[in-house]
Structure 1
Amino acid sequence: MSDSNTTYSTNPSTFILQGIPGLEMAQVRIAIPFCAMYATALLGNFILLFIVKMEPSLHEPMYYFLCMLAVTDLVLGTSTVPKMLSIFWFNSREINFNACLTQMFFIQCFSAMESGIFGAMALDRYVAICHPLRHSTILTSPVVAKIGLAVMLRSGILVLPYPFLVRRCPYYRTNLIPHTYCEHMAVVKLACDDIRVSNYYGLFVVFLITGLDVFFIVMSYTQILRAIFRLPTKESRLKTIGTCNSHVCAMLVFHIPALFSIFTHRFGHNVPLHVHVLSANINLLVPPTLNPIIYGVRTKQIRDRLLKLISHKWT
């Protein structure tokens, strides 16, 4: 293991992930709920994908977007949690430099994709509520596929410079990363070089992706609410609001912790390090865990199909 005071003339061959600084003695216990959430996320998202695939009535834009969200959640969790648990339980802290950059790219890219998918789902709800008669002609399967491809390309292109900005740093004052995974700014801060380019580019991507997505979602739901309040009866208004509740809950679960983690890393100098690391982990674990639960409970078609599968198994 490399000494923390070592100065590297080139990129180190490995980094050392420290886990949660300040909570080393509690990490074994912390890993238990993390492992439980990851297992729940795997099970829930695979069930969601299976139900949509097997039920022809769910082959609609909203459920296609749900499948994209499920795949994104599976990749996000799998890119971080296995290594995180190996740190907590087996003290396996080393990670290859290139593997670290790859993990960084996947985390940033699929987080950006998740934000974009929420924007696409807001578009689907807007068209379904504000233009119901044109929904099937506007959001056809090819259009949904193009939206998904655009979200993926946008995320990949904008996030691609992240690992290259890290690789160009010629000197590192240490190879100890005070984190459970290769978070972009946690790695960049180890460099002896000027990190302003990486910092500013990271903020640029946050505002371009998350900022625009949140703005687009807010504008979509403003139009949705206007349409809802024009409905003639209270029952129809409540029914329409009910179709949006699960989407709003999922967006809040994702965006609030994500924005807290992003701005804490850059501006929250008085926030204890273990609080920041824990919030970053929660940001990657909670949405993949809750999304299938939120949609499974709140979406009648998915709930009914799941209950049918369960009842068929036990009869």
Structure 2
Amino acid sequence: MTTLQNDTTSTEISEFLLNCFVRSPRWQLWLSLPLSILFLLAMGANSILLITIRLEASLHEPMYYLLSLLSLLDIVLCLTVIPKVLAIFWFDLRSIGFSACFLQMYVMNCFLAMESCTFMVMAFDRYVAICHPLRYPSIITEQFVVKAFSFILGRSFLMSVPIPILSARLHYCGRNVIENCICANMSVSRLSCDNVTLNRIYQFAGGWTLLGSDLLLIFLSYSLILRAVLRLKAEGAVAKALSTCGSHFILILFFSTILLVFVLTHVAKRKVSPDVPILLNVLHHVIPAALNPIVYGVRTKEIKQGMQRLLKKGW
């Protein structure tokens, strides 16, 4: 196959070019440093968290297994997106193979859906721990975690597979410049010569069905937690519960809000710089990944103690 950039002939293309802030070279310069720092923070913090949970026997419990899954998802999402973006910034390596582009598209959609579902399961875990503490050991068991893992993997895999398939089946006969830093579904699909209505419908319906239902259940869980916490009369219990669950809920809202703002800026793209949704798309893959291990991990007493014990063993 032959690569074309500007022709509109019927010749097939073999690669795409990621047009990542090329109209705003200063964005590349200023973004490369904070993006590198966030990437290193996300990779380092999540790796340390995974190692701590793996080596510390006291952390071999259902809640920490879920936290391990969240860290693993964050690492994969960062590795899928950020190294390529930095390669574009630093070395102008904008080309990406046809197959590699659709593989990146699948991983992003699948793992973001898995992360959203993991947040939902973790919110349920906190609901049971606070609202039904006596029943917690019998409900949140290792068997429950295995079933949760299976549900998260199965649902995300089945719902995400059609996205790259629908895009890959299109006929790309002319333009090959993607106006994005990543192979987002619609950024790629709009380059084709075919009708992409089905792609748009599935992306919208599938995405909002998954993320919308997760967010609704998360909001319900934390509403019930808040109601239960306000009934507590033990000194300091309310403040502790609100501090822990509040930070979790804020982080989940942040995760969801970036997606919402991204959609809104796409809808109002005539009024907003086209670089804004591109920037939000990139940041959505690194900022939550950098914050998750801090909010869910470092602020947890048991994980702090586990890290301290491992450090003492290391010395």
Q: TM-score, normalised by structure 2?
A: 0.93
In 2, the alpha carbon distance for the partners of 1:305 and 1:125 equals 20
Extract structure 1 runs of 4+ deviating beyond 3 A. 1-4, 266-269, 307-313
Tell me, yes or no, if the aligned pair for 2:113 and 2:156 is still in contact at 8 Å. Answer: yes
Question: Is residue 160 of structure 2 the alignment partner of residue 164 of structure 1?
Answer: no
What residue number does 1:49 align with?
A: 50
In 2, the alpha carbon distance for the partners of 1:125 and 1:75 equals 25
**Deviation for aligned residue 1:234:** 4.8
What residue number does 2:8 align with?
A: 7
> Greater shift after overlay, 73-82 or 8-17?
8-17
In 1, the alpha carbon distance for the partners of 2:64 and 2:271 equals 42
1:266–1:105 Cα change, 3 Å: farther
Tell me, yes or no, if the aligned pair for 2:11 and 2:174 is still in contact at 8 Å. Answer: no
In 2, the alpha carbon distance for the partners of 1:80 and 1:92 equals 14
In 2, the alpha carbon distance for the partners of 1:293 and 1:259 equals 23
Tell me, yes or no, if the aligned pair for 1:101 and 1:182 is still in contact at 8 Å. Answer: yes
**Deviation for aligned residue 1:233:** 3.5
1:19–1:235 Cα change, 3 Å: same
Question: Is residue 137 of structure 2 the alignment partner of residue 136 of structure 1?
Answer: yes
CA shift digits 1:242-263 (9 cap, x unpaired): 3313322331231111222234
In 1, the alpha carbon distance for the partners of 2:9 and 2:306 equals 57
In 1, the alpha carbon distance for the partners of 2:223 and 2:250 equals 16
CA shift digits 1:171-210 (9 cap, x unpaired): 4441001111101111112123221111111111122110
> Greater shift after overlay, 28-37 or 136-145?
28-37
Tell me, yes or no, if the aligned pair for 2:18 and 2:178 is still in contact at 8 Å. Answer: yes
Tell me, yes or no, if the aligned pair for 1:49 and 1:67 is still in contact at 8 Å. Answer: yes
When the two structures are aligned, how many residues end up with a matched partner? 314
Tell me, yes or no, if the aligned pair for 1:16 and 1:94 is still in contact at 8 Å. Answer: yes
What residue number does 2:152 align with?
A: 151
Matching residue's letter, 1:119: M
Secondary structure (helix, strand or coil) at the match of 1:9 reads coil
Q: TM-score, normalised by structure 1?
A: 0.93
Map 1:1-315 → 2, pairs under 5 A = 2=3, 4-7=5-8, 9=10, 11-310=12-311, 313=314
Matching residue's letter, 2:111: F
> Greater shift after overlay, 148-157 or 209-218?
148-157
In 1, the alpha carbon distance for the partners of 2:111 and 2:293 equals 17
Tell me, yes or no, if the aligned pair for 1:166 and 1:187 is still in contact at 8 Å. Answer: yes
